[in-house]
Structure 1
Amino acid sequence: MKKTVLSLVAVAVLASACTTDPYTGEQKVSNTAGGAVLGGLAGAALGTLAGGNDRRNALIGAGIGALAGGAIGSVMDQNENALRQQLEGTGVSVTRAGNQIILNMPSDVTFNTDQDAVKATFYPVLNSVALVLKKYNQTTVDVFGHTDSTGGAQHNFDLSQRRALSVANYLSAQGVDSRRFAVTGFGATRPVAPNNTPAGRAQNRRVEIQLSPLT
């Protein structure tokens, strides 16, 4: 019950902290809000994170060393290899883009229809992700929520936000440092496939975890 109440409080705080990007018109939750809520759930002071630089500085200030030079690629290689081994056959894809790693978690695997609670059957997968995140802690973790275009824009935005937060909350509860997280909901604004087919909509319903090196 306590975890449920905390999650509802977090959603309420994040909903009140939504902003609209003046260039794209997208609604999203700022790094400040996402980091503050996750920090609060983990017992840290609210308002710790004011943006990307402050998130980095908070981690470095906590004694987590920044990466530089050839160490960046080497550490991200280790992250990628470990994640591929842990997530093989789970339905979660691992993509490398330069020095960033993106985990794509289809919502049909992670959540029940129109729900934001992570399926219990998906816990072992997130546990595997948490193991890697804890072992290789020199990364920041951005959690992005996405939906298909079915339903209203506000509903889709809220759902994507809550789902991303649920994933971040679960990983934090497994011992991943909450200061590493930022949470953003994009609703249906970033499709990866056409929304006019069931297969395309299924691809668009997803949560992505993006790992970036702490530099």
Structure 2
Amino acid sequence: MQLTRPALVFAVVGALAASACTTNPQTGQSEMSKTAMYGLSAAAACGIVGGLTHGSRGARNAALGCGAVGAGVGAYMDYQEKLLRDKLANTQVQVQRVGDQIKLVMPENITFPVNRYDVNTGAQKTLGDVAGVLTQYPDTTITVSGHTDSTGTAQYNQTLSQRRAQAVAGILENRGVATPRVNAVGYGPAQPVADNTTAAGRAKNRRVEILINPKTA
């Protein structure tokens, strides 16, 4: 039997409610946390809209997304972090959480050929996976920053880092991330994370970072 769209919406919200329940250690009874309750109220409202406009998949995605918003910015970012960690588990891309921000660090050796800014085929697939998550959670802005080591001239490094940042940003946009959300900036060697006097340190400094920031308004 095929459910109507409203029924699908309430089925989604019901599933969310079931997963949000915890057991009170003192009473042994199943209870719902206040955070989950707030999130489900948002999920119900947004799920109804999503279900009526886009069917069952719209109901599910809207309920999940709005439920995370209702639970707070931290929860909204938690959902994205979990998805990104799953998508990037078999890559060398680092996923870091800094407060309510998520940072993805892409080393040069897996992203670009030496001294070039065309993105490797493997890294393009990885960025496609990242874009897939970002498009599901539109209430963020994305800063893509390029970084180099300190060898070479300052102008060369600045130009290379900017072009690399723009190349990565361009792939995200081509995979569906709205252009106004994305900003690309090159820092050259100005923000090292390791010692530039060693080969290992220079390798760490040659990177692109994708910083995912929750919208403040």
> Are 2:69 and 2:75, in contact at CA under 8 Å, matched by a contact in 1?
no
Aligned residues: 150
- The separation in 2 between residues aligned to 1:161 and 1:189, in whole angstroms, is 12
> Percent of aligned positions with the same letter in both sequences?
47
Q: Match for residue 164 of structure 1?
A: 165
Aligned to 1:210, what secondary structure does the other structure show? strand
CA shift, 1:214, in A, is 1.2
- The separation in 1 between residues aligned to 2:199 and 2:180, in whole angstroms, is 37
Q: Match for residue 140 of structure 1?
A: 141
CA shift, 1:82, in A, is 0.5
- Which consecutive residues of structure 1, in runs of 5 or more, have no partner in the other structure? 1-64
For 1:151, the aligned partner's letter is G
Q: Match for residue 85 of structure 1?
A: 86
Q: Cα deviation per residue 1:145-201 (whole Å; 9 max; x = unaligned)? A: 000011001100000000000000011001110110111110001000001111100
Query: Which has the larger share of helix?
Result: 2
Q: Match for residue 43 of structure 1?
A: none
TM-score, normalised to structure 2, is: 0.67
Q: Match for residue 212 of structure 2?
A: 211
- The separation in 1 between residues aligned to 2:213 and 2:93, in whole angstroms, is 18
- The separation in 2 between residues aligned to 1:182 and 1:145, in whole angstroms, is 11
**Structure with more contact order per residue of length (Cα contacts < 8 Å, sep ≥ 6):** 1
For 2:142, the aligned partner's letter is V
For 2:186, the aligned partner's letter is G
CA distance 1:134–1:68, shift in 2 (3 Å):
closer
CA shift, 1:79, in A, is 0.8
> Are 2:142 and 2:183, in contact at CA under 8 Å, matched by a contact in 1?
yes
The CA RMSD measured in Å over matched residues stands at 1.5
For 2:190, the aligned partner's letter is T
Runs of 4+ in 1 over 2 A off after TM superposition: 67-70
TM-score, normalised to structure 1, is: 0.67
- The separation in 2 between residues aligned to 1:185 and 1:107, in whole angstroms, is 14
Where do 1:91-106 residues align within 5 Å? 91-106=92-107
CA shift, 1:203, in A, is 0.2
- The separation in 1 between residues aligned to 2:113 and 2:83, in whole angstroms, is 28
